[in-house]
Amino acid sequence: MMNLRVGPHHNMWVSDFNASSTFRPTKIRRKRTSESGYTLVALLAMMTILALFAMAAAPSMKQQSLREREIETIFRGEEVANAIRLYYNYQITQGRNGPNALPTSMDQLLEGVSVGTKKIQILRQSAAHDLLSESGEWRLVKPRSGQITEFTRSVMLFANNVRPPTNDPQLKQVELDMAPPIIITNDLQSSPSSSAGDDDSSGPFIGVATSNSKNSVLTYYGIDKHDAWIFTPLFR
């Protein structure tokens, strides 16, 4: 009798143990595999979304970077324009006048001017470099050139067909010689301009410009092309 009672209980316990050891680990493994699959899918989806956001933001970031370079380029160009004004005024005191009193190289502006026994700096070293061009060198704009004529036209159009005055008294006397007057008609066209003297490799210059011909993000006197921006002490 004792064996009959113990036997069934013993067999039942063994049967439960076998079922547990055979099927429960398989269910756990399947659950973990399923969870890992969901995690991988979610990770891939997140990476795809981030990549799409990065692609959408790239043009905006590139434009912002160009805008900051343009702001710095304008700032440096204005510095060069002021240095030309200071150099010209110094040369007037040395008995020179007209185009002969203008600088002929960027190095002359970097050297500064003499006041007594001292040299006065009129241009920072960094301002002598153009951020927009590949060479980093400013393009020199000569007086009476087609470049300065085109810039004069753009400035006048921006100012409602009015030629802004040059306030520096020394440059004002020779303004019309360095940038001859032009006539703007009702259809916004001007008289043909001469391109003589456009070679910017040497000689006196009244302004500087970049050689980058791309469209700009900002406008300078209403001009939206980099190489049409001319930084000169005239018209200010």
Q: What is the pLDDT of residues 190-213, one digit of tens each?
A: 443 434 445 455 789 999 999 999
> Which range, of 39-43, 79-83, 170-174, 184-188, averages the lowest pLDDT?
184-188
- 207 φ/ψ angles, rounded to the nearest 5 degrees: -170, 175
Please compute the mean of the pLDDT values over residues 176-182 and round it to a whole number: 92
Question: Whose CA is closest to 138, among 212, 193, 194?
Answer: 212
Asked if residues 126 and 134 have their Cβ atoms less than 8 Å apart, the reply is: no
Token pair for residue 99?
A: 């185009």
Distance in angstroms (rounded) separating the CA atoms of residues 236 and 208 = 15
Contacts of residue 224, Cβ cutoff 8 Å, sequence gap at least 6 = 215, 216
Q: Is the pTM of this model over 0.85?
A: no
60 half-sphere exposure, CB direction, 13 A CA radius: 5
The predicted pLDDT at position 174 comes to 94
pLDDT of residue 29: 57
Whether residue 26 is predicted with pLDDT greater than 80 in this model: the reply is no
The whole-angstrom separation of Cα 175 and Cα 198 is: 18
Of all residues in the chain, the percent with pLDDT exceeding 70 is: 74
Answer yes or no: is pLDDT of 10 > 60: no
Phi and psi, residue 183, nearest 5°? -115, 125
